[in-house]
Amino acid sequence: MSITLVGKILIVEDSPSELELMSRYLQESGYDVIKAAGAKEAIEKALLEKPDLIVTDVVMPGMSGFELCRSLKKHPITEKLPIVICSSKNQEIDRLWAMKQGADAYITKPYTRENLLRTIKSVVI
């Protein structure tokens, strides 16, 4: 009997090309993908569709990925949801700040398919 710990992933990314690339990587690996172009939309989809994990960008209009992470970790429905920050911000302070906001992992762009999948698997085992 095989058990999949993560099946549905919400991707929050304001760059259409980045959103499509990440979606393709995850769908080809057997995940169901939900897409959100911004943090406000992501909160609605997280509450409605109950994903198993969220991957979010940091720099987005309106609300940053850090703010999104903080908001989701404060909500009783999403507080236990693993969150992976995926950002072009590659300074150690950015990684530390993400963890302080409640992120479970941090990956920098550009990433490989293998790097993305390894990071996702690291937070759900």
Amino acid 20 reads E
What was the pLDDT predicted at 1? 38
> What's the CA gap between 122 and 118, in Å, rounded?
6
> Distance between terminal CA atoms of the chain?
17
Q: Which residues pair with 4 in a beta bridge?
A: none
Strands (E), the chain: 8-12, 32-36, 53-56, 83-87, 105-108
* Residues of the chain predicted below pLDDT 70: 1-6, 125
pLDDT in tens, 97-115: 999 999 999 999 999 999 9
**Which residue type is seen at 34?**
I
* Contact criterion met (CB below 8 Å) for 108 and 88: yes
pLDDT at 2: 41
Q: Is this structure's pTM higher than 0.95? A: no
pLDDT at 5: 52
